[in-house]
Structure 1
Amino acid sequence: MSTTRPTRRRGRTEPEGPRATFRQLLPFIFEHKRTLVVVAVLSILGAAATLAQPLLVGVVIERVQQGDTLGLLVWLLVALVVIASVISGYQHYLLQRTGTAVVYSSRRKLIARILRLPISEFDARRTGDLVSRVGTDTTLLYAVLTQGLADAVGNSLIFVGALIAMAVIDPVLLVLIVVVIGISVVIVVLLSGRIRTASTEQQERVGELASGVERAVGSIRTVRAAGATARETAAVEAMATQAYEVGVRIAKVSALVVPVAGIALQVSLLVVLGVGGFRVAAGAITIAALVSFILFLFLMIQPLASTFGAITSVNQALGALGRIQEVLDLPTEDQDDARIAAGATPTDAGAAASDSAPAISFRDVRFRYPENVIAAREAAAKEARAVLEQVHLESAATEPAIEPERDVLRGVTFDVPRGARVALVGPSGAGKSTILSLIERFYDPTDGAIALDGRDIRTLPRDELRAQFGYVEQDAPTLAGTIGDNLRLGSPDATDADCERVLRAVNLGEVLERSPLGVDAPVGEDGVMLSGGERQRLAIARALLAAPPILLLDESTSSLDGVNEQRMRDAIDAVAADRTLIVIAHRLSTVVDSDRIVVLDHGQVIGQGTHSELVASTPLYRDLAKHQLLV
C-alpha cells in the first residue's frame, strides 16, 4: 500500500504524494514472465561469454611469454566477443519491447479504472492530473525495464563471477577493491532516498501543470475575452517553474550519483596498478594474472556503474507507480454497488417492481457531498480568491470566506407518477440538479431512499438503472468527432436514418444541410462548430435516440431563443407520449404545462402542485413566476 508523508514547499506543509515499493511493480513485470525468462537465459549465456574473455586473455599472454603458438585461441576470443555482442543486442530488443508492453498494460488498467471511478472522484480531482497519470507517469515505467532491470541477471552473474575470479587470482587486491566499492555503494544508497522523494514531487507538479494547461485551454475564449491571457500565462508558467525546480533538484542529486561509479573505477584501477605492480615485482602474481585481474575489475565495475546510473530512472518510475497505484486502488462504481448490496436489508434486496408504484419516488432524502469533494471545492474557492487578489480586487481579499453548503438536500420527499411531466423549480443552489444526479446514481443519498417503480435504486445495477433514463445535463458537453459519433454514444447500432430523424425532431435539420457529409460532419473540439443552442439540442437528440422510458432534462432549453424553444417544446411533447419527464427549467413557459411542479429552496421541498395551485399557495413560486423564473 502506498504511503504519504508531509513535505514542506514554499513555506507550508503539504502532503507528499503516494510512494510505491518495488514489490508493487512486480505484477506489471510478471505479466511478461515468458519474455523475461528468455532474457534471463540470454543473460546467463552472455555472462558466460563475457567472463571467459579475461581468462582467455590471460592464457594468450602466458603463451606469448612462453613463445608458444596461439592456435585457435585468438579466433575463439573473437567469437566470444561477437557472441556476447549479438546476445546483448537481442536482449536489448526484448527488454525494449517488454518495457513498451508494461507501459501499454498499465495504461489500459488506468483507463479502465478511471472511466469506472465514482463521480465523486472526478469532482474531487483535476482532470489534467488524471490525464498526466495515464500519459507521463506510465511512460516512466518504461525505464524500469530498459534502464533499471536491463541485463539484471547477466550483470549479477558477471559481477559475482568476476568477484570469484578476482578472489582466486589475488585475494589481497580484491579486499582493497571491495573497500573502495563498498564506500561508493553506501554513498549511492544514501542519495537514492532523496531521488525518490523528489521524483514523486516532480510527478505531482507535472500533474498540476497538466491541470493548469487543461483549464486554460478549455476556457481559452473566456480568457481572451476577459483580457486575462497574461495572468493565465503567468499562472501556468508558475506551475511549470515548480516542476522545473524539482527537476533541478533531481539533477543535482543525480549528478552526485552518476560519477560515483566512475570514481570507484578510477580509484580501484589506481589501487590495482600500484599494489598489483608491487606484487608482480615481488613475485606474488604474474603479469598475465594482473592483466586478467584488471579485465575482471572492468567487468565487475561495468554492471555496478549501470546499476548506479539506473537508480535515478528507477526511483522516478517508483514515484510514478505510486501515483498510478493510488488510482488503481480506488474503488469503482461496481465495487461500491457490491458493498451496498452486501449491506442491504433482505426487504430492500428482494423488493420487486410494482405496477402501481410511482415511476420515481423520493422519501426523506438527505444528501451531503463527500468530504473529499467538499475539500476540493474549498480549495478551488481559495484559488479563485487568490486570482482575484492578483488582479487587485481588494474587496475579494477582505470578504470572509464563503463556507460551502454541506447539506445539499434536507428531507426531500415527492413522487413522479408514470407518464407525467414533473418540473423542478427553485433558486440557484436549491438542489435541483443534485436530485437528477441522485436519480442517475452519480451519488447515493446520505439518508432516505429513492425508488424506481417501487424498487430502491441502490439494489439495481447502475447500467440497468441508467438504461431507463435519457439524461440531458446542464451545459451538456459535445464530444469531439462527428454528429453521428455524438448521437450514437448511447445507441451504437442506430442507423443514419435514425440519427437524421431525431435531429429533425429537435430542429437541427439545418445542421445536416450545412455539409454534404450529413451525420458524418465534424463538430470540432467541444462542439466549437455548433452554436450553444445547437449543442444543447444535439444532447437532447442523443437522449431521444436511445428512446428511454424516462427523460431527465436539466435546463435543456436554457440556450435557445424563443422560436427554437417553442420548436424544442413541440419536439419534447411529441416524444413525451408514454414517457415520464422530469424537467428543470428557468422559464415559465416550460413549467406551466407540467402535471406537477416541485418547488425547492435550500434543499427542501416547500411546495408541490400545478402552476395555478402554487401561485396561490407558495410565495416563492409566485415570486419566481412573476419574474418568469429567470433566476
Structure 2
Amino acid sequence: MSAHQGPAPAAAPTAQTKARLADLLPMVTRHRALLATAVLISLVASVATLVQPLVVGQVIQRVASGELLGPMVWALVGLIVASGLLTGIQHYLLRRLGANVVLGARRTLVHRMLRLPVKEYETRPVGDLVSRVGTDTSVLAVVISQGLVDLLGSALVFVGALVALVLIDPLLLLVSGVVIGGSVVAVTLLSGRLRTVTVEQQKHVGLLAASVNRALTAIRTIRAANATGRETDRIHEHAVGAWRANLDVARIAALVAPVSGIATQVALVTVLGLGGAQVAAGRLTLVDLVQFIMFLFLLVMPLGNVFTAIASVSQALGALGRIQEITSLPLEREERAVRADDLDGSGSTEISFEDVSFSYTGADVAGGAASTAQTLSHVTFDVPRGARVAVVGPSGAGKSTVLALLARFYDADAGTIRVDGRDIQTLDHETVRARLGYVEQDAPVLSGTVRDNLLISAPDATDAECTEVLAAVNLAGFLESRADGLDTVVGESGVLLSGGERQRLAIARALLHGPPVLLLDESTSHLDGLNERMMRDALDTAAEGRTLLVVAHRLSTVVDSDHIVVVDDGRVVGTGTHEELLRTTPLYAALAAEQLLTPETDPETHPEEVLVPTTGTTSTDRGAHS
C-alpha cells in the first residue's frame, strides 16, 4: 500500500495487561449449571470424607471392647467407595468446565481478533496472535481442573477438620498450626514470582510461534537466499528463550510442592511425638490420637489444594493478561447510521474523493519512536457510476492507499470519501464492503480448495456459477486439467498455483460476489501478454453494469479507461483520458514512453506492441507496494 509498508513485526508488543482474579471468575460462573453440579458433588464428597475419621474411631473402640464390626466396617467401606466415585465424577465435571471456559475464551478472542483495525495486524506477529488463541487459552483450563472450583468443598473439609481438632486437643493443633501457617506464607510469596515468570514464558512461546510462522510462510524465499541456517538459528534463539523461561517457572513451581509436603511431614512428626507422649501419660486416648492424625491430614489436604490453586491462578492470570491485551483493543469503528438498503444507487457519481489526506502512523523500527508517513494529500476525483476509472503513477505514489481507504481498512485524516453520495464514515464497514469486490495487489489465496476460495465471498453460489466465473477469467482449462475440479487443493497460500493463476482466481472470487463496484489493485501484474489480453476481455464483460476502479503500473491495461487519475507523491497531478494525459501531464507521458505507449504504438493500432512492456516498472521504486 503506497509507500507504507508498516513496522516490521519483529517482536510482540511489550505492554502487558495485568489481569485480576475478578476477571477470571466471570469466565467460570458463566457456566452456572455445570458449576453448581460440580460444587454440590464436591460438598457431598467433603461430608463423606469428614465422616470417615469418626467411623474409624468407632471401629477402634469396638475392636478394643470385643464388639462385632460388621455394620461399621461396611459403613467405612461404603464411605470410602462413595468418596472415590464422587471425586472421579467431580474431576470429570471440572475438566469439562475447564474445557468450556477455554472454548468461551477462544471464541471471544477469535471474534475480536478478526475484527481489529488493519493496523494491528501490521504491528503484531501472526504467530504470537496464534499462540494466544492456542497456548494461552489452554492455561485457563489448568486453574479449573487443579482445584479452583473445588475450593468450596475444600473449605468445608478444612473447617470441619479444624473444629474436630479443637475438640480433640487444642495444644496439638496449636503446635501443628504454626508449622502449617509458615508454609502458607511461603507459598503466597512464591505465587507472586510465579505469575511474573509465567507471563515471560508465554511471551517467549508467542515469539517462538511467530518466528516459526515467519519462516514457514516464506520457506521458498529462505531456501533461495541460502538463509535456512540463519533462520534456524533465529528460531533456536526464541526456543532457548522459551526453554529458559519454562525452567524459571519449573523452579518456582517445584518449590510449592516441597513446602507443602515438608510442612505436612513436620506437623505429622510433631503430632506423633507429642500425641504419643500424651497417650503414654494417659491424657489422650489412642482413639483420639488416631482421629486427630486423620483430621490433621484432612486439614492439610485442603491447604494443598489451596497451594495448587494459588500457583495455577498465578499462571492463569498471566495468560489471561495476554488474552485481555487483545480483547481490550478497540475494534473497527462501527457506525450504524446508514444500512445497505439505504443506498439506492440512483446518483450519477458512484465514488468521490473530496480533498482527502491520509498518513500511516506507526512505530519507527530502528528507534522505536512514533513516525508518520504522509501518503495522500488533498486528493480529489470522482468515479462516475458504471465507468472504468484507473489510478496510475510511480511506485509509492499512494495508489493502493486510495483503495484501502475506500474499503475502510483505514479512515482518512481529513476530507470526505463518498459512496453513492454518502460519507463512508457514516456507513458501517459491512455496508461499504458489501458493495465492493476487492482484488488485492498480491492476490492472496486461502489454503483449501478452489471452491473454498470462491465461496468465501459468495457462500450460496452453485458449482455451475463457480465454473462460469472461472471460465470468464481464463481458468476453464486449469479446471478441466484437474481430476478434482473445484475440489482441487491450492496449497498453503495458493503455493500450488502459478502467480497468474492465483491472480485470476482472486479476480474470479471478486466477480462471483457480483458487487456493483470492483476494485482492482495491479490485477494483471502476474499475467503474460496473451493472458493479460484475455483478462482485459473478461474485465470488459465484468464491467458491464458495474463501476471499476483500477490501480495499475502497466499502462497497457488501462489506456482504454473512461478516465485516468495520475498520482505522484500522494497528490493528483493529472486527470483525463489516455490521449489527453499524453498532452497535458508530463509524468504520464514519461511513464507511457518508458513502457512504449507513445502515440506511435497506440494500443488500438499496434496492440501487439503493448502487451509486454520491455522495461517493466518505473525506476521510482520507493516501496514494496504501490
TM-score, normalized by length of structure 1? 0.89
> Closer, same or farther in 2 for the Cα pair 1:52/1:597, shift >3 Å?
same
Partners in 1 of 2:213 and 2:14 — Cα distance? Answer: 23
* 8 Å contact kept, 1:95–1:150: yes
1:607 aligns with 2:574: yes
> What does residue range 28-107 of structure 1 map to in structure 2 within 5 Å?
28-107=27-106
1:152-177 deviation digits (Å, cap 9, x = unpaired): 22211111111110011000111111
From 324, 334, 337, the equivalent of 1:337 is: 334
Counterpart in the other structure of 2:287: 288
Q: Does 1:130 align with 2:117?
A: no
**Matching residue of 1:163:** 162
Secondary structure in 1 matching 2:349: coil
Q: 2: CA distance between counterparts of 1:110 and 1:352?
A: 33
Which amino acid in the other structure matches residue 528 of structure 2? Answer: D
Alpha-carbon separation, structure 2, partners of 1:144 and 1:132 = 19
For the 8 Å contact 2:16–2:325, the answer to whether it is kept is no
Kindly report which structure 2 residues correspond to 1:161-200, keeping only aligned pairs within 5 A, or say none.
Answer: 161-200=160-199
Residue identity in the other structure for 2:163: I
Aligned-pair CA distance for 1:352: 7.4
Aligned AA (1:518) = G
Overall identity of the aligned pairs, in %: 56
Give the corresponding residue for 2:349. Answer: 358
1:331 shift after superposition: 2.5
CA contact (8 A) 1:422 1:594 kept: yes
- Which structure has more relative contact order (CA 8 Å, sep 6+)? It is 2
Aligned AA for 1:574? T
Q: 1:580 aligns with which of 522, 547, 555?
A: 547
Structural mapping, 1:529-540, within 5 Å: 529-540=496-507
Q: What is the CA distance between 1:567 and its match in structure 2?
A: 0.7
AA in 2 matched with 1:28: M
Q: Which residue number in structure 1 is paired with residue 558 of structure 2? A: 591
1:630 aligns with 2:617: yes
Structure 1 residue 382: Cα displacement = 7.5
1:190 Cα deviation from its structure 2 partner: 0.6
Q: CA deviation at 1:71?
A: 4.2
Structure 2: tracts of 5 or more residues without a match: 1-12, 596-615, 619-626
Q: 1:413 to 1:353 in 2, by over 3 A?
A: farther
Is 1:220 equivalent to 2:222 in the alignment? no
CA drift of 1:306 comes to 2.8
Distance 1:221 1:545, change over 3 A: same
1:303-326, CA deviations, whole angstroms, 9 ceiling, x for partnerless residues?
212332343333222111111122
Distance 1:546 1:286, change over 3 A: same
Q: What is the Cα deviation at residue 353 of structure 1?
A: 6.2
Paired with 2:554 and 2:14, the residues of 1 have a C-alpha distance of 46
- In structure 1, the partner of 2:236 is 237
> Any idea what the Cα deviations from partners look like across 1:605-631, whole Å, max 9, x if unmatched?
122112222222222222222222722
The alignment status of 1:527 with 2:494, answered yes or no, reads: yes
What secondary structure sits across from 2:574 in the alignment?
strand
2:122 partner amino acid = D
3-state SS, counterpart of residue 369 of structure 1: strand
Q: CA deviation at 1:150?
A: 5.0
1:302 partner letter: M
1:420 aligned residue: 387
Conservation of the 8 A alpha-carbon contact between 1:481 and 1:522:
yes
Query: Which whole-Å CA distance do the structure 2 matches of 1:465 and 1:16 have between them?
Result: 33
Q: Does 1:410 align with 2:377?
A: yes
Give the structure 1 partner of residue 257 of structure 2: 258
Q: Is the 8 A contact 2:46 2:153 kept in 1?
A: yes
Summarize deviations over 1:233-261 as a string: whole Å, max 9, x none.
11111111111111111111112111111
Does the 8 A contact of 2:151 with 2:305 survive in 1? Answer: no
Q: Deviations over 1:439-479 (max 9, x none)?
A: 01111111111001211011122212111111100112111
Residues in 2 aligned to 1:128 and 1:35: alpha-carbon distance in whole angstroms: 34
Task: Give the deviation of 1:600 after TM superposition.
Answer: 1.3
1:534 alignment partner AA:
E
Q: Is residue 367 of structure 1 aligned with residue 358 of structure 2?
A: yes
The match for 1:397 is none
Give runs of aligned pairs for residues 504-519 of structure 1, distance below 5 A: 504-519=471-486
- Rounded to whole Å, the distance in 1 between the matches of 2:540 and 2:401 is 25
Counterpart amino acid of residue 467 in structure 2: E
Give the Cα separation in 2 of the matches to 1:199 and 1:435.
44
Q: Deviations over 1:384-407 (max 9, x none)?
A: xxxxxxxxxxxxxxxxx9x96522
Aligned-partner Cα distance in 2 for 1:458–1:365: 13
Gaps of 5+ in 1: 1-13, 384-400
Query: Does the 8 Å contact 1:92/1:150 carry over to 2?
Result: no
The reply to whether residue 500 of structure 1 matches residue 467 of structure 2 is yes
User: Is the partner of 1:72 in helix, strand or coil?
Assistant: helix
Please tell me whether the aligned partners of residues 144 and 313 of structure 1 are also in contact (alpha carbons under 8 angstroms): yes
User: Is this contact kept in 2: 1:18–1:200, CA < 8 A?
Assistant: no
User: Matched residues in 2 for 1:211 and 1:456: separation?
Assistant: 38
Q: Give the Cα separation in 2 of the matches to 1:77 and 1:520.
A: 64
Q: Which residue of the partner structure matches residue 204 of structure 2?
A: 205
Separation in 2, partners of 1:554, 1:213:
30
> How far off is 1:570 after superposition?
1.0
